[in-house]
Amino acid sequence: MINKKTLKTAILMLFSVCFVLNCTKANAVSRIKDIADFEGVRDNQLIGYGLVVGLNGTGDNIKSVDFTRESLISMLDQIGINARGGQIKAKNIAAVMVTANLPAFARQGSRIDVMVSALGDAKNLQGGTLLATPLIGANGEVYAVAQGQVAVGGTAAQGANQSVVKGVPTSGRIASGAIVENEIPFELESMKSITLALRNPDFTTARRVSDAINAMLGTTSAKALDPATVVLDIPQKYDGKIVDLMTKVEQLQVQPDQMARVVIDESSGIVVIGKEVKINRLAIAQGNLTIKITDVPFVSQPLPFSNGETITGVTSVIDVNEDIDTKLTVLNTGINLQELVDGLNALGVTPRDLISILQAIKASGALQAEIEVI
């Protein structure tokens, strides 16, 4: 007879195994929502030119920045103040560029965040207020108007002999600082098909996405056109229910495929090696040759009671050191990422050395992966 304690332990172990299996399966797949976008459902970039006022003497130099001066005069003209004949010495105003992203299906009256960046020689935008600035799209139409207090993350302070700058005080953000005035028309209900664009184009992934959609619908409505595009013809039962269909599609799970790739950033020495990277059998040797040149000053004194003179100079000492502990490592055929890293670490390679080694392996034809240098 099984006692209660043993039964309880067995049940807990069973739940633990099921949990591990579920987690392993979940980690192997991704939602379509996370690997693809619906065509037409996207943000639109907006831009505008405006003025920030209320700065504490850290604005543009009106005498040297002509566009700030002309913008100030034009703004004053609009409110009935003629400032064209006088001398303007204001230091509390700055010309800025205002940028924002207009989300898909943004309606009139909704608010969006904006970014404000100095355009002239302003030192700090802290404490400034952006005046009403129209934001236009790529077609030249106004879609939003921005205005409000600029929040600056950076700080700047200056004394008589020293100054401190932290972050970037010449750019800031206005949370919900723009009001949408014009909508971008996009009617979902009138669509006869839905196009999905894969963020990382791949033939296998596109086929898996179309297969998952067809399995869910029980039809052949989805078809992969190319590595980046999957087209779904809307079934008759979903007429007028496009949102319901898109919700079901984006929650489907597929296992994305990826190319064997090595990404190298030579400027920073960063190397990213993909999981599927394989190499053929080869031997790798890393030799370290160090050449050290040292300048040693010297002084030559004449003999006592002689007519000579003191001579000073510098002599160079060259030391060539070739590491006698250079290792030759043999890497077997078809090793995976972990084995490749372990083998290279056995040589004590640095990230810079790793870049050169990977490029040399690729040149030899032993690296079965694509090298991308950024």
Can you give the pLDDT at residue 248?
94
Q: What is the C-alpha to C-alpha distance for residues 60 and 77, in angstroms, rounded to an integer?
A: 20
Same structural domain, 170 and 192: no
Q: What are the backbone angles phi and psi of residue 253, rounded to the nearest 5°?
A: -110, 135
Q: Is residue 24 part of a domain?
A: no
Structural domain boundaries, residue 275 = 262-373
Q: Could you list the pLDDT tens digit for every one of the 374 residues in the chain?
A: 445 454 444 444 444 444 334 444 444 689 999 999 998 888 999 999 999 999 988 889 888 888 888 888 888 888 888 777 667 777 899 999 999 999 988 999 999 999 999 998 998 999 899 999 999 999 999 999 999 999 998 766 665 556 666 778 899 999 999 999 998 888 887 888 999 999 999 999 999 999 999 999 999 999 999 999 999 999 988 888 888 999 999 999 999 987 888 888 877 777 787 777 777 776 666 555 444 445 567 777 777 766 767 777 756 554 545 555 555 555 556 566 566 666 666 666 777 777 777 788 788 777 778 888 87
SS3 state of residue 341:
helix
Q: Is residue 15 part of a domain?
A: no
Can you give the pLDDT at residue 295?
54
Domain boundary at 121, 150, 180, which?
180
Domain boundary at 180, 199, 222, which?
180
Q: How many CB atoms lie within 10 A of CB 30?
A: 16
CATH code at 217? 3.30.70
Same structural domain, 273 and 223: no
Can you give the pLDDT at residue 172?
92
Beta bridge mates, 153: none
Same structural domain, 235 and 345: no
Same structural domain, 197 and 268: no
What stretches of 182-267 adopt beta strand conformation (E)?
193-198, 222-226, 229-233, 253-254, 261-265
Q: Is residue 20 part of a domain?
A: no
Can you give the pLDDT at residue 314?
59
Same structural domain, 157 and 174: yes
Decide: residue 226, CB within 10 A, 0-12 exposed, 13-18 middle, 19+ buried.
exposed
Same structural domain, 69 and 176: yes
Q: Is residue 28 part of a domain?
A: no
Find the helix packing angle between 203-217 and 242-250, rounded to 10°. Answer: 130
Same structural domain, 158 and 238: no
Q: What is the pLDDT of residues 264-290, one digit of tens each?
A: 887 777 778 777 777 777 666 655 544
Q: How many domains does the chain have?
A: 3
Q: What is the C-alpha to C-alpha distance for residues 18 and 20, in angstroms, rounded to an integer?
A: 5
Tokens standing for 278?
A: 């394989």
Q: Is residue 56 part of a domain?
A: yes
What is the enclosing helix (H) or strand (E) of 178?
A: strand 171-180
Tokens standing for 38?
A: 């619906």
Q: What is the C-alpha to C-alpha distance for residues 7 and 196, in angstroms, rounded to an integer?
A: 50
Decide: residue 92, CB within 10 A, 0-12 exposed, 13-18 middle, 19+ buried.
middle
In this structure, is the dihedral angle defined by the CA atoms of residues 10, 14, 20 and 21, taken in order, positive or negative?
positive
Same structural domain, 192 and 234: yes
What is the enclosing helix (H) or strand (E) of 50?
A: strand 44-53
In this structure, is the dihedral angle defined by the CA atoms of residues 20, 22, 25 and 26, taken in order, positive or negative?
negative
Q: Is residue 59 part of a domain?
A: yes
Q: Is residue 34 part of a domain?
A: no
Same structural domain, 220 and 272: no
Question: Do residues 276 and 370 touch, judged by C-beta distance below 8 A?
Answer: no
Domain boundary at 202, 225, 254, which?
254
Same structural domain, 84 and 162: yes
Can you give the pLDDT at residue 9?
47
Same structural domain, 232 and 304: no
Question: Do residues 37 and 104 touch, judged by C-beta distance below 8 A?
Answer: no
Q: What is the C-alpha to C-alpha distance for residues 367 and 260, in angstroms, rounded to an integer?
A: 10
Q: What is the C-alpha to C-alpha distance for residues 110 and 97, in angstroms, rounded to an integer?
A: 22
Q: Locate tokens 């001579």: which residue?
A: 311
Burial code of 242-281, b = ≥16 C-beta within 10 A, e = fewer?
Answer: beebbeebbebebebeeebebebeeeeeebebeeebbbee
Q: Is residue 33 part of a domain?
A: no
Same structural domain, 103 and 168: yes
